[in-house]
């Protein structure tokens, strides 16, 4: 599958996720989606780094090779419609729906917390060998 075909597939999956989330009492707001690989001048050192490299350096990402760079990942701010705090169980509803479409969900990223939740439950990406 070409990168463009993967991007189309991912976008269609995000559309289904948004519809599912709305129908199940969630509100979604976009966080990071596409991350440019264009070099940026670091204000501290003056050297050129990609946005992704700066995120890793600042502890905001754990990988330099994110699917965000391929337009095949998105981070959502997930909220309950009634504004109650999000629980691990509520996140799992969305994560398991995403996984049912053969996506990869950040709620499974190690290490897991005491509720069995991975460190990035608002992250949804296309799995490497996805065929939906």
pLDDT values of the chain reduced to their tens digit, one per residue, 132 residues: 899 999 999 999 999 999 999 999 999 999 989 887 788 888 888 888 877 777 777 777 777 678 988 999 999 999 999 989 899 999 999 999 999 999 999 999 999 999 999 999 999 999 975 443
User: Do 27 and 41 have their domain in common?
Assistant: no
Residue 28 falls in which region: left (phi positive, over 0), alpha (psi -120 to 50) or beta: beta
Q: Are residues 84 and 126 in the same domain?
A: yes
Distance CA 42, CA 128 (A): 31
User: Given this model, what pLDDT does residue 90 score?
Assistant: 95
> What is the Cα Rg of the chain in Å?
16
pTM (two decimals):
0.84
Structural domain harbouring 57: 35-70
DSSP three-state, residue 123: strand
Say yes or no: 15 and 52 in one domain. Answer: no
One domain, residues 63 and 82: no
Q: How many helices (H) and strands (E) in the chain?
A: 3, 6
53 and 88 housed in the same domain: no
Cα–Cα distance for residue pair 25/53, rounded to 1 Å: 35
Q: Are residues 66 and 16 in the same domain?
A: no
pLDDT at residue 64 in the model: 66
The contacts of residue 17 (CB under 8 Å, 6+ apart) are 28, 94, 97, 98, 101, 124
List the structure tokens of 104: 């990869």
Shared domain check, 4 and 17:
yes
How many domains is the chain partitioned into structurally?
A: 2
- Widest pairwise Cα distance in the chain: 47
């Amino acid at each position: 599958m070409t990168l463009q075909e993967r991007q189309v597939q991912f976008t269609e999956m995000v559309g289904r996720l948004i519809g599912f989330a709305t129908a199940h009492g969630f509100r979604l707001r976009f966080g990071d989606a596409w991350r440019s690989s264009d070099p940026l001048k670091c204000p501290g050192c003056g050297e050129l780094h990609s946005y992704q490299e700066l995120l890793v350096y600042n502890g905001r990402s754990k990988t330099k090779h994110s699917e965000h760079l391929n337009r095949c990942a998105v981070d959502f701010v997930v909220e309950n419609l009634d504004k109650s705090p999000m629980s691990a169980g509520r996140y799992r509803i969305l994560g398991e729906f995403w996984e049912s479409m053969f996506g990869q969900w950040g709620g499974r990223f190690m290490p897991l917390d005491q509720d069995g939740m991975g460190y990035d439950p608002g992250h949804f990406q296309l799995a490497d060998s996805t065929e939906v």
